[in-house]
Amino acid sequence: MPPKYHTQTASAPNRFPAVTRSGVIAWEEGCLKCARCVKKECVYKVYETRALDERQMLDSLDSACQDCFRCVQNCPARLIQKGVNPTYRTIGDHYWTPEILANIWSQAETGKIPVSGAGYGGPFSGPGFDAMWTDMSEIVRPTRDGIHGREYISTTVDLGRKLMALRFDEQGDLTHPVPPLVEIPVPFIFDILPFSPPKRRILRAFLRAATDLGTFVVVKESEWLPPYERYLPNTILLLDRGPDARNGHLLDRMRMVEVPDNPAVTEWLEMLKEKKPDLLVAIRMPLTPAAAARIAELTREGAEIIHLVADEFGMEEADEPFFIKDRLKEVHLSLVDKGLRDQITIIAGGGIAMAEHMAKVIICGADAVSCDIPLLVAMECRVCRRCTQGIACPVELEEVDPAWGSRRIKNLMAGWHNQLLEIMGAMGMREVRRLRGEMGRAMFFEDLEREFASLGARKTETPQ
């Protein structure tokens, strides 16, 4: 694999006891007081080192146990049992489930893809991304081994506006300027967090990781600080105060900025291009039912990148909201119909919680994805949202060491990148750019349901 696609991983142990799925239940009542208690035989010294973490009220029994079942099997009075750790069930919410959080923590710690050992244990259908399956038909072809080295799979994406044709004068010189294009080796950028404790150190971890991975971090101009200056080439400054940026002098060293969508956005774009013609300008817009029409309009007016943002559960802003994948399909297909799709880059984010979500958003029409909460989870966030109420973070994220945080984020993204390669290898895809909008290579629950319903209807209409 070329070095630009390879992310160095290194173990980055947890700072706090992890919340694990299974816990140990050890009853004292009925204990036979064996001379040689099975608890002493635990090779991981779980009972001998037992302690309570008072910051999180977690019993170390649950996080340190390695599930070997030795003590469970050998206690003569059957007083030791294994069960689901009650704390585990309380973390996260309906979308950021304990399984998703545990999966992210494991990848962030090791840089490796978690292996279940007993096959896939997740749902085969459900809401959101679980209602979509990717085509893995090429998995049986041993010649397609882009994952393991004979050929490589490119995960590079281009950010910027693309020309549909080049025009030359009689001397063979181009008659028009070529818009700037930036290539990133991975199809993701890091986005603004919907919640976090004070984030100076967190942001520094993001910036370090993005720089090492060759990608970008979106940073609000109002949160920009001089110590971040060395990361400017990998920063997308969100000019939330408009193009007359207070930090306008930074633009010289930047490759890309973002501006919020608004009625004057085309003029803002022109003003920024006047200041720096090779600056990429992305237009940030919330995901709404009006997205397809608005993006088509902006593409015709010369926009180069759209950053579409759903909420933290992947939902759009609407009374009856669509999920990100569904609205994105509409946006992509509408641009294809109008002959505009190849001119514009679409970055989409919100609710991206797993590697497969990244692949699915690209299949539904995004060129790249933006990732937010998983980066915080990589640094042990429990998605408890106490920080939104000004309550102390149980894992002290405001004090995180940026070097450790960036290592955890790189580990996670290396795991996601490897899974993306697995998915593309199994689909017979050599380039993530070709994955964009490949909806024919996926199945959608609602389509299948419609097809089966129509089969049933046809059968009842058949004359006897």
In 63-139, at which residue ranges do the beta strands (DSSP E only) sit? 80-84, 132-134
168 binds ligand SF4 (CB under 6 A): no
Decide whether 346 or 352 has the Cβ nearer to ligand SF4: 352
Under the criterion CB under 6 A, does residue 24 sit at the interface with ligand SF4? Answer: yes
Phi, psi at 79, each rounded to 5°: -90, -10
CB nearer ligand SF4, residue 55 or residue 230? 55
In which element (H, E) is residue 360 found? helix 355-363
- CA-CA distance, 351 to 193, in Å (whole number)? 12
Is 397 a residue that touches ligand SF4 (CB under 6 A)?
Answer: yes
Q: How many Å apart are CA 372 and CA 367, to the nearest integer?
A: 17
Using DSSP, how many helices (H) and how many strands (E) does the chain show?
A: 13, 16
Find the binder of ligand SF4 among 68, 293, 336, 453 (CB under 6 A).
68
Among 4, 70, 276, 433, which residue sits at the site for ligand SF4 (rule: CB under 6 A)? 70
- Using the rule CB under 6 A, is 90 a contact of ligand SF4? no
What tokens appear for 170 in the block? 């009689």
The answer to whether 228 and 235 have CB atoms below 8 angstroms apart is yes
Tell me which of 133, 152, 195, 445 binds ligand SF4, using CB under 6 A.
195
What CA–CA distance (Å, rounded) separates 232 from 178?
Answer: 24
Minimum CB separation from ligand SF4 for residue 258, in Å? Answer: 24
Q: In this structure, are strands 22-26 and 80-84 parallel, antiparallel, or unpaired?
A: antiparallel
Least separation in angstroms between CB 72 and ligand SF4: 6
Q: What is the DSSP string of 362-384?
A: HHTT-SEEEE-HHHHHHTT----
The answer to whether 196 contacts ligand SF4 (rule: CB under 6 A) is yes
Q: Does 16 bind ligand SF4 (CB under 6 A)?
A: no
Give the nearest distance from C-beta 26 to ligand SF4 in angstroms: 8
Which listed range, 68-76, 256-264, 327-335, 402-410, lies at the site for ligand SF4 (CB under 6 A)?
A: 68-76
Cβ proximity to ligand SF4, 46 vs 429, nearer residue: 46
Confirm or reject binding of residue 65 to ligand SF4 (CB under 6 A): yes
**Closer to ligand SF4 by Cβ: residue 133 or 195:** 195
**Does the footprint of ligand SF4 cover residue 69 (CB under 6 A)?**
yes
* Smallest separation (angstroms) from ligand SF4 to the CB of 261: 28
Touching ligand SF4, residues 31-60 (CB under 6 A): 42, 44, 46
Q: Is the dihedral of CA 238, 242, 245, 248 positive or negative?
A: positive
* d(C-alpha 68, C-alpha 65), whole Å: 8
**Residues of this chain, 356-395, that bind ligand SF4 according to CB under 6 A:** 376, 381-387, 393-395
Amino acid (1-letter code) at residue 223 = E
> Cβ distance 118 to 125 under 8 Å?
no
Q: Which residues bind ligand SF4 (CB under 6 A)?
A: 24, 42, 44, 46, 65-72, 195-197, 376, 381-387, 393-395, 397
